[in-house]
Every structure is written in C-alpha cells, then in structure tokens.
Amino acid sequence: MSGSSWPVAIYLQDGRFGLRAPVPEDAEYAGAWYEGAFPISAEAAREHLTEHETLPWGINPTIRLIVVELDTGSVVGGVLVERQNNRVGKIVIVAGRPDPASEAAQRVRAAVLRMVVPWMMGELNLMTAVIDVPADETVVIEAARELGLVEVVRLREHIARPSGRVDLLMLERVNRRWGRADA
Amino acid sequence: MRNPVKIGRRVYLRLVEPDDARLFADASHLEIETRFQDDGRVPVSVLAHQHWIRASGRRGTPEEISFAICRVEDDVCIGGTTLRHIDWINRTAETGTGLFAMTDRGQGLGTEAKHLLLEYAFVDLGLHALNSMVYEHNTRSAAALAKQGYRLAGRLTADVQQGGGFHDTLVFDITRENWERAYARWRDEQAGVT
C-alpha cells in the first residue's frame, strides 16, 4: 500500500509510525491489524470494517485505528480504544504477527502506546486508560510505566507461552484532570 | 431434566434456550437489588434476550457459553451462569453468575451452580485460569467468590459510576488448582464432614 494513499493523523505519529482511520483496502492486510485470536479472510475483514465504521464525527465508542510505517505506508498493526461511558478507555494494540511476543513487535506496540495514551488523556479526556499486558512483555511494560500507567491487577497464569505460563497484568493510568474544577 | 450439561444435587446446568428469554426479561423488570448493578437496573426486552441466546447457541468456536441454572426438583430456570471472553489460545475466560429471585439468593444455590460451571470450565473444556469482576460494594458476591476459591487479583480504579460517584471494580482470579481445593472443601461441607 502506498504511503501517500491515505492521510495519517498529524497528531498521532512519532516519526516512524503513524495512526489513521481504516479504509476498505486494509482488509487485505487483516493479519496485521485484526484483533481476533483466529485469522479471518479478506472478505470477512472487509465486512468487519464495514460493520464497525458506521458512526462519523468521532462518536463511535470504539475507535479503531490502523498503524502504518510512515516511510512505506505499510500496515503494521491496529489499535482499538474502547470507550466505556465516554470515561473508561481500554486499549487493545495488535502488531508484530506472526511473532507478537518478539522484542521488535513489542517496540511497535510501545510506540503506539506512547501515541495513544497522551491523546486519550489530553484530547479524548478519558478518566482512565487501561491496557492488558503479559508480564513478560518488558518493552511494553517499560513504555507504559514511562507514561504513568501502573499495575492494578495481576491475573495469574493467564497467558500461555511455549516455555510455560505467565501472568497477565492490567496497567492503568488515572487522568489527574478529572474531578478538578480547572480541568 | 432438559438437556443437562452438568448436574448437581439441587441444581443443574443446561444451555440457555430462546424460550428462556422471557424469564431473563422478567427478571430485569422485577430486580429488587439496586446497589450491585454496574449501570443501574434497565428493563430489557424479550427480543434482546432472544437475540443474545440465539447468538450464543450458534455452532462454531464460541467466545461465550451461557447456561440456565435450573432446579433439579422441578426443572424451573432460576438464573444464569456464563463463561465469557473465552480465550481458546491462552485457555482463560471470565465468569459471571446471577439468580433471578432474591428468595433464591444466599441459599447456596449460586455456589452449587458456580461449582458446576467451574467444573465444566476446568475439567470439560480444559481451561487453565478464570477471572471475575465484582463491583466493590457487592460484598456478597466478593465473599462468594472467595469461598469458591477465587483470589483478589486487584482493582480497576473508578470503573463504575453510580450515585454521583465513582467506584472501583474488584478483579478476582482462580486457577484449576485453587478450584479443586475449594471444591473439595465445599463437598466436604455439603457432606457434613468437618
């Protein structure tokens, strides 16, 4: 896919990666961005996008964005920001298949996290941002901590790895602007 | 009994069927408890419940399996219990259980149904670990989870908005090993063993 085909949000890019709204052609690259556990066909992915992308003006409670490499325009991942009651924001980041636990894959997810958390807190004005991260994904966890997310839940042995099971962490940041008169 | 999947002494579990929709819809209109509903009580239509039940009963790999909790003595459906967000790769899921009538609550029926659900999850499906979410003021459910072998894993800050304020959600987890110990204890209690 050409990098110039579709605009990347000027406020959601870091010099290497950028985020943009999905387009029907992204269905051809569903393996990179689709959040489900099992693969889907391009046709099913197109249906999935069409069914999801129905609300304009930024009012869809679940915001789906595609992660692209700025130099090439290649689709390298996806992110969902699920807004519950326009207050609690749950983040799901997909990148790095077929080896999502690799350090390279984690670096992409860490970069996405660095873009979306400040946006969720500062522009979407969500009260909390929450993300689930396997306890062995140290690159993502480090990025989350830099962004002010802290571990609030540890679910024991919730992730299966070839070498054994690891815990699943829920990391959370509370928006300090909430509850203040000058927010 | 109608298509039982798991059978206990007083209750059994079967898949929810479209004709259960009326019971679930009625329960949403007749609920007395106000404090433990995350988003407040909402009357829900039979149509909506039928849609949910039909969707959950489709063939294929499910992300959710919902059971009706039925009394053994008269087959009456008295509530529901669910495995949701089933992760077939990591072999985890979230659990949730509810009884329709206040008079059935606190009688041990929910715990018996929950043990049947956990047996189904850990033994029949081979899941490895489960989790459950409870509104922080719902001390009854939190105590029930602890008794069933769950452990407090943490809390999500201000996850629920109610009564003009924000409240945390408590998150619990349980492994098969935890459940086996709790189940053995519960069975001993039921048998009168001290």
What does the pLDDT look like over A82-125, one tens digit per residue?
A: 999 889 999 999 998 888 889 999 999 999 999 999 999 999 99
- Tally of CB atoms within 10 A around B48: 13
- pLDDT confidence bin for A183, thresholds 50/70/90: very low
Instruction: Tell me the CATH architecture of domain B6-191.
Output: 3-Layer(aba) Sandwich (3.40)
C-alpha span between B134 and B110 (Å, rounded)? 15
Contact B157 A153 (CB under 8 A): no
Are A88 and A128 spatial neighbours (Cβ–Cβ below 8 Å)? yes
Q: Is residue A164 part of a domain?
A: yes
Answer yes or no: is A182 within a domain: no
- Residues of B near A (Cβ–Cβ under 8 Å) read 39, 61, 87-92, 128-129, 131, 151, 153-159, 161, 166, 171, 173, 175
Q: Given an 8 Å threshold on Cβ–Cβ distance, is A158 in contact with B173?
A: yes
Chain A positions touching B87 (Cβ under 8 A) are 37
- CB-CB neighbors (< 8 A) of A130 in chain B: 156
pLDDT of residue B194: 53
CA distance A132 to B184: 32
- For the cut 50, the answer to whether the pLDDT of residue A2 exceeds it is no
- For residue B27, give the nearest of B105, B95, B85, B93 by alpha carbon: B105
Report ipTM for this prediction: 0.77
User: And the tokens for A23?
Assistant: 């387009």
* Residues contacting residue A140 through CB under 8 Å, at least 6 positions apart: A106, A109, A110, A113, A133
Q: Is the pLDDT of residue A156 over 90?
A: yes
Q: Which two tokens stand for residue B16?
A: 């929810």
Peptide bond into B43 cis (omega under 30): no
Burial class, B191, CB count within 10 angstroms (exposed 0-12 / middle 13-18 / buried 19+): exposed
**pLDDT recorded at residue A1:** 45
pLDDT for the residue B45: 87
In chain B, where the domains are located: 6-191
Residue B94 neighbours by CB under 8 Å, 6+ apart: B83, B84, B85, B130, B131, B132, B133
* Per-residue model confidence (pLDDT) at position B106: 86
Q: Is A78 helix (H, G, I), strand (E, B) or coil?
A: strand
Scan for tokens 């081979």, then name that residue.
Answer: B126
pLDDT digits (tens, 9 = 90+) for B45-96: 888 888 888 887 666 788 999 999 999 999 999 999 999 999 999 999 999 9
Residue-level pLDDT at B54: 83
Residue B180 neighbours by CB under 8 Å, 6+ apart? B122
Q: Which domain holds residue A68?
A: 17-174
SS3 sequence, chain B? CCCCCEECCCEEEEECCHHHHHHHHHHHHHCCCCCCCCCCCCCCCHHHHHHHHHHHCCCCCCCCEEEEEEECCCCCEEEEEEEEEEECCCCEEEEEEEECCHHHCCCCHHHHHHHHHHHHHHHHCCCCEEEEEEECCCHHHHHHHHHCCCEEEEEEEEEEEECCEEEEEEEEEEEHHHHHHHHHHHHHHHHCCC
Tell me which of A153, A165, A170 to substitute to probe the interface with B (most B C-beta atoms closer than 10 Å).
A153
Query: Which residue among B91, B129, B155 places its CB closest to the CB of A155?
Result: B129
Task: Evaluate whether residue A147 is within a structural domain.
Answer: yes
Report pTM.
0.83
Q: How many domains does chain A have?
A: 1
Please choose, from the candidates A154, A180, A151, the residue with its C-alpha nearest in 3D space to the C-alpha of residue A167.
A154
Greater model confidence, B160 or B126: B126
A109-136 exposure pattern, b = at least 16 Cβ within 10 A, e = fewer: bbbbbebbbebbbeebebbbbbbbbbbb
Answer yes or no: are the C-beta atoms of A69 and A16 closer than 8 Å.
yes
- Give domain status of residue A10, yes or no: no
Q: What percent of chain B has pLDDT over 90?
A: 59
Q: Which of B27, B154, B175 is nearest to B102 (CA)?
A: B27
> How far does the CA of residue A12 sit from the closest CA of chain B (Å)?
26
Q: What CATH number did the domain enclosing A94 receive?
A: 3.40.630.30
Beta bridge partner(s), residue B151: B173
Q: Over 70: is that where the pLDDT of B177 sits?
A: yes
Of the pLDDT bands very low, low, confident and very high (cuts 50, 70, 90), residue A3 is: very low
Q: B8-30: per-residue pLDDT in tens?
A: 999 999 889 889 999 998 888 88
Residue of A nearest to B133 (CA): A153
pLDDT score recorded for residue B163: 77
